[in-house]
Amino acid sequence: MRRIDANRQGRDSKQGYDARWVLLVTLMLCAATEVFAGGNETAPSPAAAPANEAAHRRIIVSIPDRKLALLEDGRVLKIYPVAVGASVSPSPTGEFKVINRVVGPAYYHEGKVTKPGKNNPLGNRWMGLSKKSYGIHGTNVPASIGKAASHGCIRMGKRDVEELFELVRVGDTVEIVGTRNAEVEKVLHDPEQVGEEAAVVSSATRPVSSALVVAAMTNQF
C-alpha cells in the first residue's frame, strides 16, 4: 500500500510540474506575441495593415508632374509615375486621408457593376480617400500612366499599386498638389534628397515570424 501511494504521489507531482511548465510557456508566448506584433491592431478588411505603426507616412501627388511620392518620417521611400484627372474631370487638390484598402475592388459606374478582373478599370487594388468617390487604384489601361486621363482618381501601374498598397495604411495622409511648390520640387527633383534610400523600406515594416518567436522562447528554457 505504501509503494502504491508513493507511485501515485510521484505521478501527481510530475503531472503538476508538467501543467505548471505548460502554463508558464503559454503565458510567455502570449507576452512575446504582444511585444513582437505591436499590440492588438485591427487591420482594415480584407487587407492586412502594415506592421510599422509608429512611422509617419505621407503620400504627395503632383498633378503637373504626374508623379506620386511616398515619404516616411520625412524620407522619400518611393516615387511612382501616375495618371491624374483629365481636363474635363480633374483630380481634387488638398489634403486627404486613406480611409480604406481593398484587394480586388468592384467598379460601380452609371448603375453598372464591373466585377474584379482584368477588365476592371480600378485594377486589383483600391485605396479610398476621405474625398468621397476618389482614390488611388490600378488600371486596365496601363498606357494611360503618365497622362491626364482619369475621371479624377490617381491611377497606377499594376506592380506599383500592389507595392504601394503594402506600404500604406488607413489614416495615412495624402496631399494632392495642383501647382508645383518648393517641397514637391525637392522631393521629386533633388537627387540628394531621394538618393539610394528612395527604394529602401525600413526593416521595421517586416512582420516577425511566429517561428522566430517560438525559437526565441525555446532558447530561454
Within a domain: residue 50? no
Residues 128 and 25 in one domain: no
| Structural domain contains residue 217 | no
Does 110 share its domain with 138? yes
Query: Is-above-0.85 flag for pTM?
Result: no
- 29: in domain: yes
Instruction: Say what the pLDDT of residue 111 is.
Output: 83
C-alpha closest to that of 83 among 68, 103, 100, 101: 68
DSSP code of 44? P
Q: What is the DSSP letter of 119?
A: T
The residues facing 58 across adjacent strands are: 71, 173
The whole-number pLDDT of residue 151 equals 94
Catalytic residue selected from 56, 137, 151, 189: 137
Respond yes or no: is residue 30 known to be catalytic: no
Looking at the structure, tell me whether residues 83 and 147 fall in a common domain: yes
Decide if 153 is catalytic: yes
Q: Are 98 and 168 in contact (CB under 8 A)?
A: yes
Are residue 19 and residue 104 in the same domain, yes or no?
A: no
Name residue, grid cell 529602401: 200
Residue 189 carries which side chain, given as an amino acid letter?
H
- The reply to whether 136 and 189 lie within a common domain is yes
Strand partners, 107: 114
- For the chain, 221 residues long, the average pLDDT of each consecutive 10-residue run is 52 56 50 34 43 77 97 92 97 98 91 89 96 96 96 97 96 96 89 48 36 29 26
**CB within 8 Å of 12: residues ≥ 6 apart:** none
